[in-house]
Amino acid sequence: MDRHGLEKLADDCAEEPMECSSPANSDRPVAADLCALIAARRSVAPKRLVAPGPSADELEAIVALALTAPDHCALRPWRYVLVEKKSRELLGALFAQEKEEHDPSASVEDIDKERSRALNAPTLLAVILRSTPNHAKVPVSEQLISLGGSVQNLLLAAHAYGYAAMITSGRKIASTLLQEAFCDSPTDQLVGFISIGTPSRLPNERAEAKLAEHFQVWSPKF
């Protein structure tokens, strides 16, 4: 699907009655476009992301929006590292090496498949948690939540710019090889890669989440 198709999809979604549209008994304005954008965002697998990806200016704007996530004490516990096209072969070699080390019986095809994962999307960002351990007010678990908010902002911003994106991790992310390739300090942790591009096809319907299973009224137990 090209950008025109995506825009049409967003328009169609905007015409659907949105759950977040103003309730009939409220005169509070609702940013329906933003609700439609959030509802319509879908992750698209890196192998289904083709050119074009965001321009350099667009990418800067997208990452800048990622930096507006909720962030206790302004720790900015995130880093996004662009893996440029010229570095993809090298990253692919690391993926292949990690596969061979983890699974010495892996076939040449399996190893090449891992290598090819580095070449897929037009734009590839490594996502790093840069934590502040033993902070007086902000435990690392909170910093990780902040990073998640930042990633979601980035995915939504990419979508708003007419691209699709996906965060992936996989077992290999935890390997010393990849951690050392992307982390500059012991407080850095590589947590995933974000791929961005134009979707060659959209994913299947997302399984519906039941509101009642995730949104309840507190029943005090005392």
Ligand X SMILES: Cc1cc2nc3c(=O)[nH]c(=O)nc-3n(C[C@H](O)[C@H](O)[C@H](O)COP(=O)(O)O)c2cc1C
**Residues making contact with ligand X (CB under 6 A):** 42-43, 166-170, 191-192, 206
Q: Is the separation of the CB atoms in 41 and 206 below 8 Å?
A: no
CB of 48 or CB of 88, closer to ligand X: 48
What is the C-alpha separation between 123 and 163, in angstroms, rounded? Answer: 11
Cβ within 8 Å of residue 108, ≥6 positions away: none
What is the C-alpha separation between 175 and 57, in angstroms, rounded? Answer: 32
- The minimum distance between CB 192 and ligand X, in angstroms, equals 5
- The minimum distance between CB 87 and ligand X, in angstroms, equals 20
- The minimum distance between CB 90 and ligand X, in angstroms, equals 21
- The minimum distance between CB 171 and ligand X, in angstroms, equals 9
CB of 69 or CB of 191, closer to ligand X: 191
CB of 88 or CB of 159, closer to ligand X: 159
CB of 96 or CB of 129, closer to ligand X: 129
Transcribe 42-92 into DSSP letters. -B--GGGEES----HHHHHHHHHHHTTS--GGG---EEEEE--GGGHHHHH
